[in-house]
Amino acid sequence: MRERTWLNRAMHAGFYLLLAASALRLVSRHGPAPRTVAALAVCGALALAYAIGVVLWNRLGRGRLVWLAGVAAVWLVLVVLAPSFSWCAVPLLFVCLRLLNARGVAVAAAALTLVVIAAQLEIAQELDVSLVLAPIGVATMTAVIFWELQRESAARQFLIDDLIRTRGTLAESRHRTGVLEERERLAREIHDTIAQGLTSMGILLQAADRMWAADPELARSHVRRAAAAAAENLDEARRFVRDLQPAGLVDGSLPEALARLCDSAHEEAGPRVRFRQEGEQYPLEPGAQAALLRVAQGALANVRDHAGAATATVTLSYLDDEVTLDVFDDGAGFAEPTPATGRGYGLRTMRDRLAEVRGTLAVESVPGEGTAIAARVPTAWPGGDIPAGVPAAWPGGGEPAGEVDER
């Protein structure tokens, strides 16, 4: 860590400053005496040995302990020659704190402290309690400060590791969520496009097969409609894979797309379907339009496959604060929605789609009296803001479009 690097550099610099200060004191007090020259030679050897360890620290590995023992031995010889070098024990204690375990640090600290006390008493040449207590205090403070830094560093590293683990877990969770959401989206699109398209093609081809001998021209018409449905569903499949708008909304409005859907539902040998629009059209979020169109597709597929209805009515209503889509049929109805084996995905899909655009779905049915499905989508944009370019004078913003004739 950066703090530890600066601390190491400060201690190394302190060692050489203490070494230089002790050498200057030795020369100023004793001059060029033989003992002084010998002490300076050992001082140079100590400075070189210490520098080798600092430079080759990462390469030494376990050899650091050997290096430390050698430096301590040279320093001890130097203290014997010149007791003023004893205060270099503080940086050496710091190195011991870095390399030794708790027991080793205790032994090294005691030994270094005793050497310093003995050296200072020799310089003073008389017993002074302060010369005993000061080295003990310095050694104690150095050890406590270093251990506190070690504890804070370990705690911080634990927090960093925990944060990295949490970030990895969160990323994995987001990935799983994204996979599930995409799988759910594809399942809804497959149900609302390919599955319903295949059902329509099957109905048309079965009808063509039944009347091929009696009315070949009508049978061919059914086959052509089945082929057109296949092409349309292929285009829809390509679009939902790319997460694009439904094809019916690309070149037209929602009412126009619903009107075409009602016409095609009747052509596929289903019940007669009427479309009505109430209120004046105004802009709606693309996601809300797609959801309402898919709900209508799913509801009409249920009418065709399960209701046995003669007629159905699809009503799109533009109200002040919401757009509603109602699908009513005069079919068999039901007491409880009990889907056939392997099916039953439709109503849940409708609710999921509407929930994504803050909408709701209500289903009412009475056996023998038909079924009504009501989808509601609020027109207020999230946060109350209306997109730029949409006048606020109209409900939900925008200019009114022309009405779509009832079908």
* Range in 96-105, 173-182, 280-289, 333-342 the model is least confident about: 333-342
Nearest to 240 by CA among 186, 296, 295, 197: 186
Q: What is the pLDDT of residues 267-287, one digit of tens each?
A: 655 688 899 999 999 988 888
pLDDT of residue 74: 92
Q: Is the pLDDT of residue 387 over 80?
A: no
Rounded distance, CA 320 to CA 260, Å? 25
Q: What average pLDDT does the chain have?
A: 79
Residues 6-43: tens digit of each pLDDT: 778 888 888 899 889 988 988 888 888 888 899 999 99
Q: Angle at Cα 94 formed by Cα 91 and Cα 97, nearest 5°? A: 160
What's the pLDDT score for residue 395?
Answer: 38
Alpha-carbon distance 231 to 264, whole Å?
14
Q: Is the pLDDT of residue 403 over 60?
A: no
pLDDT digits (tens, 9 = 90+) for 338-362: 544 444 457 888 888 888 888 999 9
Average pLDDT over residues 312-333: 91
**Which pTM does this prediction carry?**
0.44
> What pLDDT is attached to residue 84?
85
Average pLDDT for residues 205-220, to the nearest whole number? 83
Q: Which domains does the chain have, with CATH numbers?
A: 2-127 (no CATH), 271-407 (3.30.565.10)
The pLDDT value recorded for residue 396 is 38
CB-based contacts of 404, cutoff 8 Å, min separation 6: 255, 256, 259, 275, 277, 281
pLDDT in tens, 367-382: 888 899 999 999 865 4
Please name which of 270, 261, 346, 264 lies closest in space to residue 308, comparing C-alpha atoms: 270
CA–CA dist 368, 332 (Å, integer): 5
Does the pLDDT value for residue 394 go beyond 50?
no
Confidence of residue 305 (pLDDT cuts 50, 70, 90): confident
The token pair at 387 is 């997109």
Checking if the pLDDT of 401 tops 80, the result is no
The vertex-189 CA angle with 266 and 352, nearest 5°, equals: 100
> At 4, is the pLDDT very low, low, confident or very high (cuts 50, 70, 90)?
low
Q: Model confidence at 314, in pLDDT bands (50, 70, 90)? A: very high
Rounded average pLDDT over 288-295: 88
